[in-house]
Amino acid sequence: MEPITVGIIGILVLSVLLVSGMRIAYATALCGLLGLWALRGYEPAAGIAGLMPYAESSHYSLLVLPLFVLMGYLAHHAGITRNIYWTARQWLGHLPGGLAIATIFGCAGFAAACGASTASAAVMGRVSLPELKRFGYDEKVAAGCVAAGGTLATMIPPSVIMVIYGFIAEQSIGALLLAGILPGLLQAGSYSIMLYLRFRANPQLGPSISGIDWSERVKSLRGTWGIFALILIVLGGIYTGFATPTEAAGIGAFGAFLMALPRMRRGDLKTALRETARTTAMMFAIIIGVLIFVRFLAFSGMPAALADKVLDLEVNRYVILIAILALYLVLGMFLDGIGMLLLTIPIVLPAVTGLGFDPIVFGVLVVRMVEIGLITPPVGLNAFVLKGVAPEIPIGNIFRGCGWFVVVDLVNVAILVAFPAIILLIPNAMMQ
């Protein structure tokens, strides 16, 4: 049997296992091992699969993942989340839909300290949903704000997904993190404009907040020093070259620990460490399993063959790019973001770079599509995380509340495709 045929069979078997409900880490490792066995024999296959966990998980660049996750949990215990949200509420609450807009900016602020979208949605759900309910905001709008706002953590650095893309694509993690700043701000700004227009057109969705004077607004700014300190430490260190992304993450995690220390109750540190270990173990299990499968695909020759086929197509390269991004929109309905990247990037990236697209630009675009998958049915993880935080909200209402945000996301992707300089502005400035 031809190696490429074995590769195609492996993908089909993997699809069946994933649809049947098997966890992606186990399904990919199993299919990868069996595929390598079919192509190389049992002993070489067992050797590759046995070496992979250590060889891949021991990369120094991956140390940034648990550090960013830990920084997010410690920032939450330091009260940074509540302080950011309260400041945004005081300054934006008087606008039409002001509390919803404040939720978006609260999510954006917390995203600068937390690289995990689901963690951001869970934390912001606990902070903002009670306030939105107290003022009588429409349930679907409130849920959509939190679920979609949580996706900002995958774009605004520090972003776990960006780190994983950089690891797979062998691109500068520092450049990728900085490349997400302007697209992340564009996302938060466009969400806010959409909410402002919706509430102007339909005030029944929720009231604005009156009676907040300037002294209260200025006073609220005192609570934002922590997040700005973390931004300065992490992004400032990366941008200036003072620290590598891993070093900046370590300093940021220690800084968040110092901020949280005076406010921690008994057991909070243990909880933060336990949740960090659980999240890290999940991520590394997926990374190891998928990389075994990717190694099998490499031996099958499928990625190179696919790249050659794509490059031979006589169509505009942007048509191919849009088709690939549309594929991510479909995959996002069935796979989590990390698994999606690990499975697809080794296959499609050679074709994309062969068409002349910058891998940094493509990485940001793919992450934007991964974000959309987090709030679209049937798998949308942020929606289910929010359901766990607010079980009284029907899951259907959460997904319906995300609809307008998905439309805005697709418009933002179109803007970034048309104007890739938005993505490259800060990384290029760093390299000069």
- Domains in the chain: boundaries: 1-58+283-300, 59-264+301-431
**C-beta separation of 367 from 165 below 8 A:** yes
Residues of the chain with pLDDT > 70, as a percent, come to 99
Kindly indicate the confidence band of residue 140, based on its pLDDT and cuts at 50, 70 and 90.
very high
Mean pLDDT over residues 14-28, rounded? Answer: 82
Model confidence at 198: pLDDT above 90: yes
Say which residue the tokens 């995959």 belong to: 331
Which pLDDT belongs to residue 138? 93
* Max CA separation in the chain (angstroms): 75
pLDDT digits (tens, 9 = 90+) for 79-103: 888 888 889 989 998 899 999 999 9
User: E strands of 70-167, at which residues?
Assistant: none
Overall size of the chain counted in residues = 432
240 exposure class (CB count in 10 Å sphere: 0-12, 13-18, 19+): exposed
Model confidence at 196: pLDDT above 90: yes
Lowest-confidence segment of 11-15, 163-167, 252-256 by average pLDDT: 11-15
Which pLDDT belongs to residue 432? 63
At 134, list the tokens. Answer: 């107290």
Model confidence at 49: pLDDT above 80: yes
**Residue (of 156, 162, 142, 136) closest to 65 by Cα position:** 162
**Residue 22 identity (one-letter amino acid):** M
Report d(CA 313, CA 301) in Å as an integer: 19
Percent helix, strand, coil in the chain (nearest 5)?
80, 0, 20
Report d(CA 197, CA 201) in Å as an integer: 6
3-state SS class at 376: coil
Which pLDDT belongs to residue 431? 65
Which pLDDT belongs to residue 143? 93
Which pLDDT belongs to residue 51? 83
pTM to 2 decimal places? 0.88
Mean pLDDT over residues 138-143, rounded? Answer: 93
Q: What is the DSSP letter of 151?
A: G
Report d(CA 193, CA 410) in Å as an integer: 15
Mean pLDDT over residues 156-180, rounded? Answer: 89
Model confidence at 19: pLDDT above 80: no
**Residue (of 306, 335, 421) closest to 21 by Cα position:** 335
pLDDT digits (tens, 9 = 90+) for 224-283: 888 888 888 888 888 888 888 889 889 999 999 999 888 888 888 888 899 888 888 888
Mean pLDDT over residues 192-206, rounded? Answer: 94
Mean per-residue pLDDT over the chain, rounded: 87
Which pLDDT belongs to residue 15? 80
Of 182 and 213, more confident: 182
Residues of the chain with pLDDT > 90, as a percent, come to 32
Report d(CA 220, CA 102) in Å as an integer: 13
Which pLDDT belongs to residue 40? 86
Of 4 and 182, more confident: 182
Which pLDDT belongs to residue 149? 93
